[in-house]
Structure 1
């Protein structure tokens, strides 16, 4: 009898089948318990909140269905502005952040000015709040009079790129430094230049090591893109402010918040999936 026929005739034993059934029952029980406890906790929270003294006023002020329906259209139009700014900012941040990380990884004393410049840039923009950067860029640079008149969303995009490129540069630099030095040595021994070593060997491996951190920065940028409203850009937040001023009701803020949650939720879930997959791959690689 060949090994192929033996494999084809193999069937799990009764003990193995009982173990599988036990695991399925345990999983089902855990899911049901988790679902039931979540429903119970939600019910308790609803009962507590609804029975508070000011719930009637809060429900009218923040959860008015009629005002919510009226504000969906204008706020969604503003959200499209946020999406446009986000897409442009992500591309620019990826390019500038990679350039800064590369500058900080340059070797040799001749590149000290570039390393110092990149370090000063990242230290400055990681230390200053994004809101202040928006004010300085959105109101300070146009006041110089050396640039033509640009829309507020342009200056808001510039401020986002300046701030988040510093964060992304440090994340990328950490990933590049986590690559073992033997990788650089092996690449140089094959005749690759320093630039080719970075582009072909170091940066791809470094990016894979910090993918979860980079995706978290992207999630943060999705939220902070709403701050461009302080410059006068009619985005989702600004549209909500206009609706609040028109209706004397805060429900548009809730609608805007829900839209930002819907915008961020896919990336948040994708970040969790990618992180879990990377952790599983690392653990599988360490099993002997």
Structure 2
């Protein structure tokens, strides 16, 4: 009998069928309980909000549908600037953070100056608030040469990249240090240079170990690109601020917040999915 015929001839026992039926029933029961409890919590929470004394004023000031519809096109246009800044900042952070992590991993006293520079950079920009870095870059760099005008979007991209390169570099460095030293030794024993060992052996394994942390950093960066509005850039936040100043209503801020959530939601869900999959592989004894 061939393997295929053996597979086709196999049929689960009555006990196994009963277990599967029990698991399906338990799963349906869990889903039903979760749905009922969620609706109950949502109903109670909604009732407490709408029955509060100041709900009418809050609804008019924060959830005005007419103002939301009028401000949506302007805020959406500003969000396109945030998306462009995020795109270029992501590329810059990936490149600079990788260089910093590699510099901090260099061995030998001859490389001490590079290690010191990388260490000082990460310590400095991990300690500085992003808002202060944006002020220093946005207003300090143009002051060096007042005759040259630098686009605000470029300055904002530089400020965001400076801060998040430090965070991502430390995550990458942690992943590289988590790779067992025997991997480096084996690669060097095969004749690979230090650079090839990093590129072909260490960094690929390090990335697999720190993917969830890296994705969380980039989710955080998606939100912080809204801080470029402090430099005067008409992004989603500044567009909402302009409409708010004209209407004396805070609904545009709610619209901008929802747009940022919509922009971050795919990455958030992807992060959760990757984290759960890697956790399952670790529990099953697979290669992470």
For the superposition of Structure 1 and Structure 2, which TM-score range results when normalised by the shorter chain? over 0.9
Name the counterpart of 2:99.
Answer: 99
Name the counterpart of 2:134.
Answer: 134
For 2:27 and 2:59, the matched residues in 1 are separated by 39
For 1:169 and 1:87, the matched residues in 2 are separated by 18
SS in 1 for 2:192: coil
The unaligned stretches of length 5 or more in structure 2 are: none
For 2:2 and 2:35, the matched residues in 1 are separated by 50
Instruction: Note the 1:62-81 alignment, pairs <5 A.
Output: 62-81=62-81
Deviation at 1:76, TM superposition (A): 0.3
Tell me whether 12-21 or 162-171 shows the greater mean CA deviation.
Answer: 12-21
Q: 1:189 to 1:245 in 2, by over 3 A?
A: same
Tell me whether 251-260 or 139-148 shows the greater mean CA deviation.
Answer: 139-148
CA deviation map 1:64-114 (0-9, x unaligned): 000000011000000000000000000000000000000000000000010
Q: 1:108 to 1:43 in 2, by over 3 A?
A: same
For 1:7 and 1:199, the matched residues in 2 are separated by 44
Tell me whether 253-262 or 276-285 shows the greater mean CA deviation.
Answer: 276-285
For 1:3 and 1:275, the matched residues in 2 are separated by 36
The two structures, once aligned, show a CA RMSD in angstroms of: 1.3
Tell me whether 166-175 or 145-154 shows the greater mean CA deviation.
Answer: 145-154
For 1:2 and 1:219, the matched residues in 2 are separated by 51
Name the counterpart of 2:195.
Answer: 195
For 2:60 and 2:196, the matched residues in 1 are separated by 62
For 1:271 and 1:178, the matched residues in 2 are separated by 21
Normalising by structure 1, we get a TM-score of 0.97
Q: 1:207 to 1:5 in 2, by over 3 A?
A: closer
Deviation at 1:5, TM superposition (A): 3.5
Structure 1 position 27 matched with structure 2 position 27: yes
Name the counterpart of 2:258.
Answer: 258
SS in 1 for 2:284: helix
Deviation at 1:247, TM superposition (A): 1.1
Normalising by structure 2, we get a TM-score of 0.97
The unaligned stretches of length 5 or more in structure 1 are: none
For 2:241 and 2:226, the matched residues in 1 are separated by 12
